Structures are given as structure tokens and as C-alpha cells.
Amino acid sequence: MEPIPNATVYIVDDDAGVREALAWLLRSRRLPSESFDSAEAFDAMLQTRPPPREPCCLLLDVRMPGMSGIALFDALVARGAVDAMPVIFLTGHADVPTAVDTVKRGAFDFCEKPFSDNALVDRIEQALALSARHLDTLRQRKDVRGRLADLTERERDVMRCVVEGLPNKLIADRLDISVRTVEVHRARVFDKMQVKSAVELANLLRDSE
């Protein structure tokens, strides 16, 4: 898999040896990482930063003193953060049933200790790719919302009729304007929304929902 630009892997584990080993493994695969010795420390960092704008994922130990990995995961789920930052749990054998349950609730995967370096990196890269796709979708939706905000009220009226598949004559009748006026507004809608057809416009609006 091609390296994902500007990606970051977050490591949260109370075992310094595990953190160092994971950081070294990631460096060897050209994957930048940041390490935290507790769920509390990681959560505090998140509170000081804006939502992720670049691909990232979280390697999270299940059992830690204080806030557990599960508690942190639940908090991230509640904030809607696990789509932009997929979570891979690092678990011992006794934690596997719990980890399986978290996957059902939105965790990306779990890796049982001791884990295969290659298998773990493969899953990390897949998680980062998922994060990148999600962030790209968010950017596209924001872009579409910006284009919509640039439409006048009448252009919005015409756009809704166009998306319904109405021809210009019926749009003119519905809005009580001339066909020529409809044509002008239709052209402006297409220009502002950066589309060339009613089908393309409908698809753009559907994908931005």
C-alpha cells in the first residue's frame, strides 16, 4: 500500500516497552507516531486540538490504570470521533471477547498480544486509508455546502425543480416565471455547483448528505 501523506498513528499504552517497540516499528515503515502513557493523557491532548484534518488512527491498550482503553473508546464513540480516527485495540488473550464486542460497536480491529508486526502494520495502513477517505468525504461535503450557500433563493427554487427532473416549461409554470428566466437560473445553478447536467447535480447533492 502506498504511504498516506501526513498520517499519524497514536499509541496509548501504559507499558513503556510496548510504546517504544511500536514507535520503532512504525518508524521503520515511515509512519509517524505519537505516544501516550495513559488514556487520560491522550484524552487531554484531544481536548486541546481541533478535530483531525489529516489521516490518523489509534492503537489502544485495553487494560490500563485509571481510565481503561474501553472507557476511552466509549468516549470517542460518543463524540463521533472513530470514523476520522479508527481504533485498533491491543489486547491480551483474556481481553479478546471484550475487544470483539468493541468491533461490533465501531472499533476498526483488535490485535492480540504478541502480535505479528506485518499483520499489525497492514491493519494500521488500512485504518489510515479509511480515515483518509472519511476526511475526504467531509471536505467534499463542506465544499458542496459552500456552493449551496452561494445560491440565491430563486436559484435554490429552480435547483429543486431541476433535481425533480422537471423540464424548463414546467419549472416556469410552477414558479410563475418565464422559461427564459428559468434557463438563466438553471445555467447559474450549474455554474455555481460546478456540474454539467441535472443527473450530476442530483448525484452531488445526494453524496453530500
Strands (E), the chain: 8-12, 33-36, 56-61, 87-91, 109-112
Same domain, 112 and 69: yes
Burial class (CB in 10 A: 0-12, 13-18, 19+), 151: middle
In a domain, 124, yes or no: yes
Residues in the chain: 209
Q: Residue 102 — very low, low, confident or very high, per pLDDT cuts 50/70/90? A: confident
Give the C-alpha separation, 157 to 152, whole Å: 9
User: Residue 2 — very low, low, confident or very high, per pLDDT cuts 50/70/90?
Assistant: low
Q: Give the integer Cα–Cα distance in Å for 132 and 126.
A: 10
Are 50 and 130 part of one and the same domain? yes
Q: What is the pLDDT of residues 153-163, one digit of tens each?
A: 999 999 999 99
* 122 & 197 share domain: no
pLDDT digits (tens, 9 = 90+) for 88-97: 998 876 677 7
> Looking at residue 39, which CATH number applies to its domain?
3.40.50.2300
Percent of the chain with pLDDT over 90: 79
CA distance 51 to 85: 10
Q: Is residue 83 part of a domain?
A: yes
Residues 123 and 74 in one domain: yes
* Whether pTM exceeds 0.85: no
Q: Are residues 94 and 165 in the same domain?
A: no
Residue 135 has pLDDT above 90, yes or no: yes
> Does the residue 2 lie in any domain?
no
Instruction: Indicate if 114 and 37 belong to the same structural domain.
Output: yes
Could you tell me the residue range of the domain that residue 114 belongs to? Answer: 8-140
Write down the mean pLDDT value for the chain.
Answer: 92
Residues 104-121: b if buried by 16+ CB within 10 A, e if exposed: eebbbbbbeeebeeeebb
Q: What is the pLDDT confidence band of residue 99, given thresholds at 50, 70 and 90? A: confident
Whether the bond into 114 is cis, omega within 30 of 0: yes
The CATH number of the domain holding residue 189 is 1.10.10.10
Residue with cell 485509571: 66
